Structure 1
Amino acid sequence: MHYILTILLLTTCIYAKTADFSIIIDEKFNNALVDVAEDYDRSISAVGFIKKYKDASSNSSAVYTNAFDYLSSLSSSSGSQMHLVKVDNSADIVLRRSIDLSKFNEATSLVKTPQNGYFIGGHTLEGSLVLLKLDSDANKIFVKEFGTPNHDKMSKLVSLRDGGILAVGSSTASSSQSYDIFKNGLGLNDIYVARFSKNGTMLWSKKYGSYEDDAGVDAVEADDGSIIVLGKINKDNRLGATLMRITEHGDKIWLHEQLEDRGITPHRIIKLRDSAFAISLSQKDEMNKEQIRVIKIDLQKNILQDKTIHTTYSSVLKDIREYSDGRIVGVGYVQDSYDTDGLAMLLDSKFSMLLQEHYGSRDYDSFNALDILHDSKIAVAGVHTNQDSQETNMWLLKLNQDLSISQLSYKSTDFYSMLSELFRDEIQRGELLIKEDLSINFSDERLYFQVGEYKLTDVQKSFLDRFGKKLFTFLYENKEKIATLEINGHTSSEWGESDFSNSYIKNERLSMNRSFATLSYMFKSQNDKRQKWLSEILKGSGLSFSKKIVVNDTEDKERSRRASFKVLLLND
């Protein structure tokens, strides 16, 4: 496997990010991000957990008469806590909050609300299921603790069309059929499903299973409102997958078990654009290596496609999504004898592999979840282990469609600072001004045009040589972030005795000539490689006197006769 993650540790921060869109949040002990979603403001939110340890000094004076009492006192001293992270397009953390609950807990799933808030699902370490609704600033709206009298765990929250939420997980099997929600389960564990309204009211909760060991993994809502539940089963020491279709009220319509000698592990089910369903599984081959298997079924559990993707190393896709053109993107992990890396894979509509990439260091790294963003890039949440460390860290990154790591989107304020530093001497000499919108205007009177003139003077050419060398080199070094470089020509508003209409038209032509003279002179001074790149970003415009310089309600005609520049970034 190859390694293409470079980590730049920031000694003054608790997280590190690279020149690529890759953020590693390093907290004490083991931590992870388990789910991710795009926010309506185009930022990215991810949920996971961090480890918290209570101060043991408060009980230092306690006296215990036996070892069991002492161990009981320690049982609530350490554990996990749900943690939410939100980052902007520059990979800066804009919100980070641990969800303070009375019991230690772990998050397993994240769903966005129409108000740009969050539903977060998980479970306490004591065995209760938890559903939280947060506002856009991660303030708690409500917390629901629910489940059975037994030990329960949540696997996934599923967004429903009515704005409600479906919680899918597992519950230790009931010892009695007297429980109202009991549905045919006396095995080790059963599938547990609960439905909530958008306001957090539980509409129903039910258990499903066999006399074997069952657990809920995921679910998806069909077009008719019924629900397909994906589960796993351990029967006679064989691992398998279960598919169950239930009504919107939780009544079972059909159940299908998929058991094979080599064992199957289910990971995710999604609804496709053609209303069929794709299921991500993993299955061991004859060499005992996990291989990816993707199955497509219809609403009547007919298998439409069944594809095993053979890879050199053990590989698993823990989460999958469909692009608008039918391609499938998935993330998970790839493992050899030495380490585990995060895996990203792109499949065509027939589930044949198109691309795969591995990301990580020489220790344990894994991707847990993904979300396809509005621009078809991919947000990924997972875990990363620093070299020579035994503790996992939260990991959030963004991939392009070709599965390469996306570059950071710089803010205009970042570029403003860099341009201001680049032209610090020119600014101090009063030759130019740079604004935060990345516009550049000349302020030396020798750089203005004379009345009616557009041909460059020797002074203007000399300055443009120095200015262009700096500007074009800087922009070329940051070309992945540059959308356009505008070179605009301007005029003052007068034109002899002409009326307004003729004055504007004649000044428009003059301003275009000034733009062209400046653009062509600077362009011709570049080498072929630089010229080809500039041809893709340069935009020359004549603005007549629409942007004339006005000081104290009076036009400054001399300063209005100019050329100006403006940098537009790709994320503007």
Structure 2
Amino acid sequence: MHYILTLLLLTSYIYAKTTDFSIIIDEKFNNALVDVAEDYDRSISAVGFIKEYKDSSSNDSATYSNAFDYLSSLSNAHGSQMHLVKVDNSANISLRKSMNLANFNEAISLVKTPENGYFVGGHTLSGSLVLLKLDSRANKIFASEFGTPNQDRMSKLVGLRDGGVLAIGSSAASQNQSYDVFSNGLGLNDIYVARFSQEGTMLWSKRYGSYGDDTGIDAAEADDGSIVVLGKVNKGKQTGVSLMRITEHGDKIWLYEKVEEKGISPHKIIKLRDSAFVVSLSQKDEMNKEQIRLLKVDLQKNILQDKTIYTTYSSVLKDIDEYSDGRLAAVGHVQDSYDTDGLVMLLDAKFSLLLQEHYGSEDFDSFHALDVLHDSKIAVAGVHTNKDSQETNMWLLKLNRDLTMSQISNSVTNFYAQLSELFKDEIQANSLTLREDLSINFSSEGLYFEIGEYVLTNPQKKFLDSFGKKLLTFLYKNKEHIKALEINGHTSSEWGTSDFSSGYLNNERLSMNRSFATLSHIFNNQDEKTKKWLSEILKGSGLSFSKKIMLNEVEDKERSRRVTFKIILFGN
């Protein structure tokens, strides 16, 4: 199995940074991250829970008749509490906050709000469901406890198109005659669903069930506003999956159940871009190992695909997300006879396995949730267990699309600020311009090329000597962050009376010559050590007139005849 040993570990005493985008937050007692989402500023937020307990040596002499009264008596600093972590692109933790409530409580799910805040869903250990709305700094806007008089549990909080959320979970069957148990179910548990507006007002709540034991697992909203609810069914010794389509008001449209001798466990449902739904299941094989099973279902409960992915070890996918090209990223866990690791898979639209990786140490590790980010990387939340420990820790990491571990992104903004200071005289003299993407353009009239020329003039050489000394000294000091230094040659669009093809190819050759003339001049003026380093990062290219300079929609031919530089950092 694949082990990742270089981890970013955070405790009260340790902050050890690595190049891998992998963060472990080690607190006392068991703690975990259960859901993750990308923020509008491209940072990553994850939610979970941490645990703190009251010191038994305290002088509290009060007595309590039951455990729940005792839990309610504890201050907000004690017990299991919802916890939110926010991380920037450099793997720096910019925010950590516990949503302190009176009762012990645990977070289950995270949904972004239009204001860049959060809905957080979970439940208390005394059996209530919890919905919190937070602002972008995780300050509490409101907190609501809801549910039935019975023991309730939340499984998922789902964001809806109107800005509201849907809470899905389970409720113990009622023995109270005020409840219509014949319509709501006679099993040990029923599916519980509640809908909230974007302001947090409960619009409705309903229970659904059968004579079996039913649990709400997840839900997905269809294009027409109806909702497909994923549930788990227990009937005697058999377990299975239920799919139920309800209207936006909670009225049942249809119900589909699949119960098999092998036993099926549902984990996740998402709506695809083609308006169908994918359901992640697991089922036991003949060796009693869990295997991954995926269903594709349409809105009329037709099964479009049903595929089992057989793996060497017992495997489960707990969360799935879709790329724009129809591929699927999925995370969960894989377990052999020695340990459990976090599992990540890449699948095509037909559920064929393209890639898989295992991440973890020598003990228990598991991935609970993922979010495909704007740049096609994957944010993953889960738990990690340190060697020889019995307590789980919060784990947040970022993976590339090829499922390799992403590297910590060096701050482009920081490099931009340093380069702005380095070249402040040249910028003030309008000799060059620096953009925030770390591209550098020469803007002085004497630094442009004449028509058809690529041989450097004395003014160009003089400027390049000064510019190159500053730039390369700075880049060499930061060489562990530098992936490439591009030197691109450019031309204007004219080339005598040639046709377009001849004009383009002639200009392409010219732009490459300009790039090479600049690159070779800078390269030859360095010592041997610097030359060897430059040979690893320099990249020269000719762009012909594809990036010509336009002024008021008219080509500025003089300024188009130029070279430009661009610094590429690792992770960008």
TM range (shorter): 0.7 to 0.9
Gaps of 5+ in 1: 424-434, 442-451, 489-511, 545-562
Residues 465-517 of structure 1: CA deviation (Å, up to 9, x unaligned): 9778756656764344x5756899xxxxxxxxxxxxxxxxxxxxxxx999976
DSSP-derived class of the 2:539 partner: helix
1:535 aligns with 2:555: no
- 1:120 counterpart residue number: 120
**TM-score in terms of structure 1 length:** 0.79
Residue matched to 2:459:
454
How far is the alpha carbon of 1:94 from its aligned partner? 1.1
> What aligned pairs does 1:239-388 form with structure 2 within 5 A after superposition?
239-388=239-388
Runs of 5+ unmatched residues, structure 2: 423-433, 442-456, 491-511, 550-562
Task: Output the CA distance in 2 between the equivalents of 1:157 and 1:11.
Answer: 30
Give the match for residue 102 of structure 1.
Answer: 102
Query: Is residue 206 of structure 2 the alignment partner of residue 171 of structure 1?
Result: no
How far the C-alpha of 1:100 sits from its partner, in A, is 1.1
Q: For the residues of structure 1 that align with 2:245 and 2:302, how far apart are their CA atoms?
A: 13
Counterpart Cα distance in 2 of 1:286 and 1:513:
67
SS of 1:179's equivalent?
coil
Could you tell me how far apart the structure 1 residues matched to 2:132 and 2:12 are? 33
Query: Per the alignment, do residues 63 and 455 of structure 1 end up closer, same or farther by CA in structure 2, a change over 3 Å counting?
Result: closer
- How far apart, in 2, do the equivalents of 1:460 and 1:536 lie? 16
**Counterpart in the other structure of 1:20:** 20
Post-superposition CA distance 1:190-210 (Å, at most 9, x none): 110011111111111111111
Q: Which residue number in structure 1 is paired with residue 391 of structure 2?
A: 391
Q: 1:365 to 1:11 in 2, by over 3 A?
A: closer
Please tell me whether the aligned partners of residues 241 and 258 of structure 1 are also in contact (alpha carbons under 8 angstroms). Answer: yes
Q: Distance in 2 between matches of 1:53 and 1:538?
A: 65
User: Quick one: structure 1 residues 165 and 61, their matched pair in 2 at CA, closer, same or farther if it must change by over 3 Å?
Assistant: closer
Letter of the 1:454 partner, please give it.
Answer: P
Contact persistence 2:482–2:567 (CA under 8 A): no
C-alpha contact (below 8 Å) 2:7/2:20 kept by paired residues: no
DSSP-derived class of the 2:519 partner: helix
Measured on the aligned residues, the alpha-carbon RMSD in Å equals 4.2
- Cα 1:298–1:365 change in 2 (3 A) is same
Q: Is this contact kept in 1: 2:8–2:23, CA < 8 A?
A: no
Kindly provide the CA deviation profile for residues 106-145 of structure 1, in whole angstroms up to 9, marking residues without a partner as x. 0000000001110000000100000111111111111111
Name the CA shift for 1:228/1:338 in 2 (closer, same or farther; >3 Å): same
Question: Counterparts of 1:185 and 1:564 in 2: how far apart (Å)?
Answer: 71
Q: Take 1:83 and 1:14, find their aligned partners in 2: how far apart are those partners?
A: 20
> Offset of 1:233 from its aligned partner?
1.3
**How far has the Cα of 1:308 moved from its partner?**
0.3
Distance in 1 between residues matched to 2:15 and 2:127, nearest whole Å: 31
Q: Which aligned pairs between 1:198-217 and structure 2 lie closer than 5 A?
A: 198-217=198-217
Q: Could you say what secondary structure the match of 2:459 adopts?
A: coil
Which stretch of the first structure deviates more once superposed, 261-270 or 531-540?
A: 531-540
Quote how far apart the aligned CAs of 1:95 are: 1.2
Which moves more between the two structures, 333-342 or 77-86? 77-86
How is 1:381-420 mapped onto 2 (pairs within 5 angstroms)?
381-412=381-412, 415=415
Which secondary structure does the structure 1 equivalent of 2:207 belong to?
A: strand
Matched-pair identity in %: 69
> Would you say the 8 A contact 1:14–1:27 is kept in 2?
no
**Counterpart in the other structure of 2:431:** none
- Determine if contact 1:15/1:26 at 8 Å carries over to the other structure: no
**Could you tell me whether the CA contact under 8 Å between 2:322 and 2:329 is conserved in 1?**
yes
Code of the residue aligned with 2:284 in structure 1: it is: K
CA displacement 1:58-104 (0-9 Å, x = unmatched): 4454579xxx8799757976631000111111111111100011111
Question: How far does the alpha carbon of each residue in 1:47-68 deviate from its partner, in whole angstroms, 9 at most, with x for none?
Answer: 000002123344454579xxx8
CA distance in 1, matches of 2:183, 2:16: 48
**Change beyond 3 A, Cα 1:406–1:571:** closer
Is the CA contact (8 Å cut-off) linking 2:191 and 2:216 kept in structure 1?
yes
1:29-44 paired onto structure 2 within 5 Å: 29-44=29-44
Structure 1 runs (4+) deviating above 6 angstroms are 68-72, 416-420, 435-441, 463-469, 485-488, 512-516, 525-529, 537-544, 563-566
Give the secondary structure class of the aligned counterpart of 1:187.
Answer: coil
Letter in 2 for 1:342: G
**8 Å contact 1:455–1:517 — kept in the other structure?**
no
Aligned amino acid, residue 90 of structure 2: S
Corresponding residue number in structure 2 for 1:4: 4
Letter in 2 for 1:245: R
Is the counterpart of residue 478 in structure 1 residue 481 in structure 2?
A: yes
Q: What's 1:444 paired with? A: none
For the structure 1 residues 401 and 69, does the alpha-carbon distance in structure 2 shift closer, same or farther, using more than 3 Å as the test?
A: closer
User: What is the CA–CA distance in structure 2 between the aligned matches of 1:93 and 1:357, rounded to whole Å?
Assistant: 26
**Superposed displacement of residue 26, structure 1:** 1.0
TM-aligned CA deviation for residue 278 of structure 1: 0.4
CA distance in structure 2 between the aligned counterparts of 1:439 and 1:162, rounded to whole angstroms: 41
Paired with 1:62 and 1:142, the residues of 2 have a C-alpha distance of 30
Residue 555 of structure 2 is matched in structure 1 by: none
Instruction: Tell me if the contact between 2:82 and 2:107 (Cα under 8 Å) persists in the aligned partners.
Output: yes
> TM-score normalized by structure 2?
0.79
Cα shift at 1:179: 2.0
Q: Following superposition of structure 1 onto structure 2, how do residues 490-509 of structure 1 map, counting pairs within 5 Å? A: none
